[in-house]
A and B are shown apart, each in its own frame.
Chain A
Amino acid sequence: MRRARAAELARPLAAFVVVLAACLGLFAVWQSRPEADAASAAAAGGVPALAPLPPDAPVADGPIVPARLQIPAIGVDATVEPRGTAQYENPFTGARVDGYGVPRSMWTTAWWSDGPRPGSGRMAVILGHAQAAHGAVFDDLADLRAGDEALLVDDAGAVQHLRVLGAPLTGLDKSTSALADALNGHPAGADVAFVTCGGEFDEDAGASEDNDVVFATVVR
């Protein structure tokens, strides 16, 4: 009697285990396919496949509200979303601080909309993520070199051409005022600062330890 009861319970249990294993297997296969990163990026709300810029796109002749950013040297072609100042708790100091609003997606960028517009004569700040599990838009920002090209495009399609100024600033410690100091002391002629994270990822803090900054100037 007891044996029969056990056999009766074993069958559905076995079925459950089999189905579960099958589903997990399917999930594993699905996750490991080559385009998984792109799918993850798409799920994160961004991405990639933006229409190519028309070759005869008009050149912006003044300050713009950026809607798209291209940095060909590091394969960046991303939307730019406006983000204002936000309140954070700095995980390295525990202090409540004003910080830049960051993009929702790993594959989009954010323009600090409480600051100047690119081309206004004062330096604008554009931020993008780095060091995410499945990659992020500014992963290779620190690979930029002086003279590399960047393009900002507004909603109307007007293009602002920029050139990287100098070498990237890396290792700006988040537990200090290094980022603010670097931005407030920006080089002459800097019209845009691209900001992302760098350095080691602190597991306890759940954040990267540093910031990296690349300055660029409007060339036409």
Chain B
Amino acid sequence: MLEGVQLVVTDLTELPQQLQDLLGQFSAVLQQGPGDLGEAIPLGSLADGGSLTLPAPEQAESGDAAVAVADSGSAGEVPLLTDLQGLLKTLAYDCLPHPAASSPSTPAPAAGGEAPQQPAAPAAAPVAQQPVSYLGYAPTGGTPEEPSGTVPVLAGVLLLSAVGTAGYRVSTRAARSRG
């Protein structure tokens, strides 16, 4: 199963390079004489929107690759081939795995060691959490920092007593003054 996947990846990697080489050969032929190429590959159709059928990987590997163009027309120009080569280079660079870089599915083996057998990392791997620095002081004992209810109650008792005494004195004086 894994070998099959690797084979496909290898083919995709090599195919654009082979196409670039092929186009390079075409350019050389065109520079020698476009008449020869016009019979084999009517390149003008590419500029007109003709479809380009890529060869199968097996064909590319075996050297039997051919570019079939659906439309016919006048012989193509060299700049078109150059542009096509550029496009293929861009495709190879941007869309295919670079041989030198390690990919998640085919990690590079460690130097002098065996290749790791770990599965590819998930796409949405959780972000590493920041460590927490816990504080070292917690004043959770003893009397809370809140007003005690005892002092106000005592003050109230004293006030009530004073008011009662004053009231008694006033009433006594009033009784005496009447008497």
Q: Which residues of A contact B (CB under 8 A)?
A: 11-13, 15-16, 19-20, 23-24, 27, 40, 43-45, 85, 88, 90, 97-100, 102-106, 112, 115-116, 121-123, 125, 127-133, 138, 174, 177-181, 183-184, 195-198, 201, 206-208, 211
Whether the pair A128, B161 counts as a contact (CB closer than 8 A) is no
- Complex: A56 Cα to B85 Cα, angstroms: 68
**Closest chain A CB from B155 CB (angstroms):** 11
The residue that B140 contacts in the complex, of A138, A183, A184, with Cβ under 8 A, is A138
Kindly list chain A residues whose C-beta atoms are within 8 Å of the C-beta of B136. Answer: 97, 99, 177-181, 183
B98: interface (CB < 8 Å): no
Given A97-B136, A180-B135, A208 contacting B157 (CB threshold 8 A):
no
A50 to chain B, nearest CB (A): 20
Q: Least Cβ distance of A10 to chain B in Å?
A: 12
Distance A174 CA – B139 CA, assembled complex (angstroms)? 9
Q: Is the pair A179, B141 in contact by a Cβ cutoff of 8 Å?
A: no
Residues on A with beta carbons closer than 8 Å to the beta carbon of B93? none
Of the candidates A16, A43, A90, A138, the one having the most CB atoms from chain B within 10 angstroms of its own CB is: A16
Closest-by-CB residue of A relative to B159 is A23
Measured between beta carbons, the chain B residues less than 8 angstroms from A102 are 138-140, 144
Complex alpha-carbon distance, A200 and B132, angstroms: 30
| One of B134, B144, B172 near A106 (C-beta < 8 A) | B144
Partner of B157, one of A15, A24, A115, A211: A24
Q: How many CB-defined contacts (below 8 Å) exist between A and B?
A: 132
Is residue B86 within 8 Å, beta carbon to beta carbon, of the partner chain? no
B33 within 8 A of A: no
Contacts of B142 in A (CB 8 A): 129, 131-132, 197, 201, 206-208
Closest 6 pairs between A and B when the two form their complex, measured CB to CB: A197-B141, A180-B136, A208-B141, A99-B137, A183-B134, A16-B165
Instruction: With CB as the reference atom, state the residue of chain B lying closest to A195.
Output: B138
Q: Is the CB of A15 within 8 A of B168?
A: yes
For the complex, is B9 an interface residue (Cβ under 8 Å from A)?
Answer: no
Q: Contact between B138 and A127 (Cβ–Cβ < 8 Å)? A: yes
What bracket does the count of chain B residues touching chain A fall in? 20 to 34
Q: Which of B132, B153, B172 has a CB less than 8 Å from the CB of A115? A: B132
Question: Is A179 touching B165 in the complex (CB atoms < 8 A)?
Answer: no
Shortest Cβ distance from B165 into chain A, in angstroms? 4
Is B162 positioned at the interface, with any CB of A under 8 Å from its CB?
A: yes
One digit per residue, 1 when the CB lies within 8 angstroms of any chain A CB and 0 when it does not, for chain B 135-174 equals 1111111111110010001100110111011101100100
A15 to B161, CA, bound (A): 9
User: How long is the Cα–Cα vector from A77 to B129 in the complex, in angstroms?
Assistant: 32
Set A122, A128, A132: member contacting B132, Cβ < 8 A: A122
List A contacts of B132 (CB < 8 A): 115-116, 122-123
Offer 26 A-B interface pairs, CB within 8 angstroms, sorted by A: A15-B168, A15-B169, A16-B161, A16-B162, A19-B160, A19-B161, A27-B153, A44-B146, A90-B137, A97-B135, A99-B136, A102-B139, A104-B146, A121-B129, A123-B134, A129-B140, A130-B141, A174-B137, A178-B136, A180-B136, A184-B133, A195-B138, A196-B140, A197-B138, A197-B141, A207-B141
